Structure 1
Amino acid sequence: MTTATPEGCYVLLGTEQEPGTTYDVLSPTRHVGSPWGPGVQHGGPPAGLLARAMDRLAPRSDTRLTKIGVDLLGAVPTADVRVGARVLRPGRRIELLGATLEARQDDGSWRPVAEARAWRQATQPTADVAHRVAPTEAFPDVTDTASAEHALPEVWDITGFVSAISWRVTRPFGGGPEGGTSMAWVRLEQPLVAGEETSPLEQVVMIADVTNGVGARLDPVRFSFLNTELTVHLHDVPRGPWFGVSAESTIGADGVGMGSSVLHEPDGPIGQVAQSLLVERR
């Protein structure tokens, strides 16, 4: 599924300066919409903005972000937002970065709606000792279109951010009759910010937030299972544009769940995702 015109998920309006932090101010487009309700942004685009802000903060070519943790402080409204990043713990080999996403209120003030932290680590050549833990199930190649025979679930609201992605579902959501993990190759079809090239890091963080949907075990007509956070560990460099998501959900006995996935490139896994889920009956 693709969208024809690259409008972007956000339009950059300008910048604002606060003591110690420069904020980018952005306006959301129709491509940020969430299936959980009108006027609410999907978690993927805000996560992408937070990753973008941290990755662009005093970057060095011999470092990269290896772990990104996003905490959603509540529903992110489809209002103007601003995002800014700062160094929390400087270092030559290891740095801790932080970022805040705020939404504009009716009175013009800003309210925090999401926060993130990321570890930036120094890199060095280790290809001679590289080792990737093999996933428990083989992931079909992205070029194997014959295996991408499963459609998105009919109950999904195929608008907003879901429609800003191309999907090749290789194992049906919920694992199908045989159980197991759900699998899909996904590619972002809209830039994060209009007129900008979306980096592979920004792409993979946005896509990582579909984990609880791809790995869904519950009927979304009868249940909601919103993620309250998103944690992405990247043990290899994302390249894109296609990323594989091999996902599963665990549902506890008291309304708490966890979504998890392995992120893939065509030549193997590159990272893992975990999300805490708030499970509620509708």
Structure 2
Amino acid sequence: MAQTEDEASYFTVRDDTLVPGPHARGWWTPDTVHGRLLGGLAARALERAHAADGMHFARLTVDLFRSAPFAPVQVRTERVRDGRRIRVADAVVHSGDGVPVARASAVLLRTGTPPPGHIPSTGPWDAPPPEELSVPHGSRLLWRFDEELRPVRTWSGDQRRRAWLREPHPLVAGEPLSPFVRVALAADTASPIAHASDEGLHYINADYTLSLSRLPLSDEIGLEAGAHTAEDGIAVGHCTLYDTAGPIGYCATTAVANTAPTR
């Protein structure tokens, strides 16, 4: 039986709260809301309240500092700075009992004419297009999300970790995913791509910072791990992000060692 729109979405709006659906549950702990969705909700709220013509979301930092109980959440935003060329806004995600569980900060910059001169830059991706790749099952390096994750080759040894990711579900019922919300949802996956080992994922994401020169033009977001360093159970890393037209930015992430759940 086909899912209805409300069943397919991660959240539905009820009064001034967002009510999670069954597949919004966390990967690490099933009685929580998945952390990547909190970042998506923060991005949605920031875009709805603070987007403006000629202003581009150049940075989004999401702090995931507390597990969110599997219950309705609220998001509140505040404009911190509004200048001629820059706008800064914050968002806080609250659980049903009013406790903050995540926060985000966004920087919007006014677009304009590029300056002259040549700067060496990130080149086009040589990964196969997403339609040529399948969604594998049973790999020890894959973790259960609801996105469609399509690795470019099997990740083994020190090979480059590259994947296409597409979010098939609406974040909120009745609302199509905007490019900004789509890439904010995808950005959380930079942590497992950068930090998973040959024995699975054992680092839980503490935060991520998404830096964008432009918004994605395609539903598919490409990620390529660029770095991982770790010491004493603390890991940092980053990925380059692409759409089907080329590079769009980067995502840096910090994570802390955590025992993976038994599946």
| TM-score > 0.5 by shorter chain | yes
Aligned equivalent of 1:214, options 173, 185, 193: 193
- Judged with a 3 Å threshold, the aligned counterparts in structure 2 of structure 1 residues 257 and 157 are, in CA distance, closer, same or farther, namely closer
Say yes or no: does 1:224 pair with 2:225: no
Compute the displacement of 1:213 (Å). Answer: 1.9
- Shift of the 31–227 alpha-carbon distance from structure 1 to 2, 3 Å rule, reads same
The letter for the 2-side match of 1:166 is E
RMSD, matched Cα = 2.7
Give the direction of change, closer, same or farther, for the CA distance of 1:280–1:187 in structure 2 (3 Å limit): closer
The 2-side partners of 1:227 and 1:276 are apart by: 6
After TM superposition, the structure 1 = structure 2 runs for residues 21-60 of structure 1, keeping only pairs within 5 Å, are 25-60=17-52
* Matching of residues 1-20 of structure 1 within 5 Å: 6=5, 7-15=8-16
**3-state secondary structure, aligned to 2:121:** coil
User: Would the aligned equivalents of 1:149 and 1:170 in 2 still touch at CA under 8 Å?
Assistant: no
Distance 2:192 2:176 in 1: 26
Question: Could you tell me how far apart the structure 1 residues matched to 2:48 and 2:82 are?
Answer: 15
User: Which 10-residue stretch deviates more, 68-77 or 119-128?
Assistant: 119-128
Change (3 A) 1:277 1:58: closer
Contact 1:243-1:264 at 8 Å conserved across structures: yes
How many residues are matched? Answer: 257
Q: Does 1:73 align with 2:65?
A: yes
Q: 1:268 to 1:157 in 2, by over 3 A?
A: closer
Distance 1:34 1:198 in 2: 20
The partner residue of 2:225 within 242, 247, 256 is 247
Q: 2:166 aligns with which of 187, 198, 214?
A: 187
| Residue aligned with 2:49, SS | coil
Which residue identity does 1:115 align to in structure 2? R
2: distance between equivalents of 1:123 and 1:53? 22
Percent identity, please. 26
Residue 166 (structure 1) aligned with residue 148 (structure 2): yes
Q: For the structure 1 residues 69 and 58, does the alpha-carbon distance in structure 2 shift closer, same or farther, using more than 3 Å as the test?
A: closer
Question: Is contact 1:257-1:277 (8 Å) kept?
Answer: yes
| Secondary structure in structure 1 of the residue aligned to 2:130 | coil
CA contact (8 A) 2:125 2:246 kept: no
1:153 paired with 2:139, answer: yes
Structure 1 unmatched runs, 5+:
16-24
**Match of residue 205 from structure 1:** 184
Q: Judge which range, 59-68 or 30-39, deviates more.
A: 30-39
Return the alpha-carbon distance in structure 1 between the equivalents of residues 136 and 23 of structure 2.
23
Pick closer, same or farther for the CA change 1:185–1:129 going to 2, 3 Å: farther
TM-score (norm 2): 0.87
Matches of 1:65 and 1:82 in 2, distance apart?
22
* Match in the other structure for 1:139: 127
Structure 1: which 4+ aligned runs deviate by more than 6 Å? 127-132
How does the TM-score come out when normalised to structure 1?
A: 0.81
Describe the SS at the equivalent of 1:50: helix
Deviations along 1:151-201, one digit per CA (max 9) or x if unpaired, are 56247553xxx12x12222133xx324x23211111110011011111011
Partner Cα distance (1:148, 1:13) in 2: 37
